[in-house]
Amino acid sequence: MTQDTDKATEWNRAKRGSPGPRKCVRCGAPMLARWRPFCSKRCADLDLGQWLTEGYRIPATTDTTGEDEAVPEDEPPDDRQQRRL
């Protein structure tokens, strides 16, 4: 890096302010790099458990665009493939 780039980087950091130490997303304790973004294996495992037991869910939207393209099941497979093209 050049000296000007170093100064610009320092200025940008000072302007933004220091975010301080990162915290565990589960409990708020100081985060450890080994378990990032958590502070420990325990917090990582607890978070994984929430996902596995559907404690966390990603909202789904109903997609109605595919209904118009539905092909009746009684048509032979070749006709269904040609209709999609």
Residue 54, Ramachandran bin (φ over 0: left; ψ between -120 and 50: alpha; else beta): left
- Residue 70 pLDDT class (50, 70, 90 cuts): low
- 74 CB burial (10 A radius; 0-12, 13-18, 19+): exposed
pTM of the model: 0.47
Percent of the chain with pLDDT over 90: 35
Indicate the CATH number of 21-56 among 3.40.50.970, 2.60.120.560, 3.90.1200.10, 3.30.50.10: 3.30.50.10
